[in-house]
Amino acid sequence: MTKDEITQWALANGWSMIDGFPSLTKPSAPHPAIVRLVLKATMAQVEIKKPAGKWEKVAGESYSKITADEDGMPGGLGLGTIAGFSQLMQSNKDRQMMARIGMTR
C-alpha cells in the first residue's frame, strides 16, 4: 500500500486528520488524538499517546511490506493485534457518522 492508500483507508474508517496525521481519539473526547499514523517517506508507523503526553511507536513497516487484507485494513502494521484498537476505530467511525446525520437535519 502507498501513503495515499493508507490515508484514504484511515479516513474512510473513522480516522480524522489531527495535527497533520490520521488519528483516533477517545470516544468521549474528540480531541486530542490518542492513536496516530505517522506516514513518512518510506514507512508507516503506529504511535500511541502515553498518559504523560509522549508518543510511543508501537509498530512500523515499510510501504512495500504493507498489504491490504480482505477488509482493506493495512496488514503489516499490527493494527489487528493492538488491544482495543478495533473497538476504538469503530467508536470513532460511529461518532463521525452520527455527526454527519446531525448535519443533514
pLDDT in tens, 9-64: 999 888 999 999 999 998 777 678 999 999 999 999 999 999 888 999 999 999 99
Q: Which residues pair with 60 in a beta bridge?
A: 45
CA angle at 21 for the pair 15 and 25, rounded to the nearest 5°: 45
Map out the domains of the chain as residue ranges: 3-104
Report the pLDDT averaged over residues 66-78: 84
pLDDT in the model for residue 21: 96
Q: Higher pLDDT residue, 14 or 99?
A: 14
CA 40 to CA 18: how far, in whole Å?
A: 16
pLDDT over threshold 60, residue 6: yes
pLDDT in the model for residue 19: 93
In 3D space, the residue among 69, 84, 85, 90 whose CA is nearest the CA of residue 1 turns out to be 69
DSSP 10: H
